[in-house]
Amino acid sequence: MKTYTEVEGIDASSYAGKAALAVKIKARGILGEDLLNFKLINFVSFMLIHDKFMSKGIIITDDNKEECYIKIIELGDEKLINELEKYITLKDEIKNIEQQKEEYQSIISKLQNLSNKNDTTEVNLIIEEYLRK
C-alpha cells in the first residue's frame, strides 16, 4: 500500500490529512465509475455535434441553450433533432462529472483551510456527508 506524507497539500499524519485521503479514495471510486462509462469517443461525439450546429449558425451556450434547442427542433430535420438529443445527453454526463470534481475540490479546500488539522469535529463535519455516498 502506498504511504503518503502529504495529501492535497495536507500533512497525511494529521486527522485532516487522513480524511483527505479517504475523500480522495471515495472520489476516485465515484469519478472513476463515471469516467469508465463516459468514454473519449463520447466527448469527441459531443464536440462533432457541437461543431455541426455551429456550422449551421447555431452556437449553443448555457445562456441561450433553450432558444437554440427550439431553433433546431423548428428546422424539422429529423437527423439534427436526433443529434440534439444525443448532444443534450452527453452534455448532462459531462456536467455531472464536472460537478463531482467540483464537490471533491470544495471538500479538499475546506480541509486545507482548517486552522487545526486535528480537530476531529470540524473535519468530520466537512467530510461525513460525502463519505456516506
- Calculate the dihedral angle through the C-alpha atoms of 96, 59, 45, 43, rounding to the nearest 10 degrees: -40
If one counts the domains in the chain, the total is: 1
CA of residue 131 relative to chain centroid, distance: 17
Between CA 11 and CA 69 the distance in angstroms is 49
Q: Share the mean pLDDT of the chain.
A: 92
**pLDDT tens, residue by residue, 13-26:** 999 999 999 999 99
Would residue 1 count as lying in a domain?
A: no
Q: Which residues contact 132 (CB under 8 A, 6 or more apart)?
A: none
- Cell of residue 96, nine digits: 455531472
Alpha-carbon distance values, 67 to 3, 36, 60, 64, 115 (Å): 52, 32, 9, 6, 48
For residues 18 and 31, the model is more confident at 18
Would residue 67 count as lying in a domain?
A: yes
Would residue 112 count as lying in a domain?
A: yes
Helix (H) or strand (E) holding 10: strand 10-11
| pTM attached to this predicted model | 0.77
Between CA 57 and CA 38 the distance in angstroms is 28
Average pLDDT over residues 114-126: 95
Least trusted range by pLDDT, from 5-14, 32-41, 62-71, 116-125? 32-41
What are the helix (H) ranges across the chain? 15-37, 40-55, 65-75, 78-112, 120-131
Residue ranges making up the domain that contains 62: 6-131
Between CA 108 and CA 10 the distance in angstroms is 9
Q: Is the pLDDT of residue 62 over 80?
A: yes
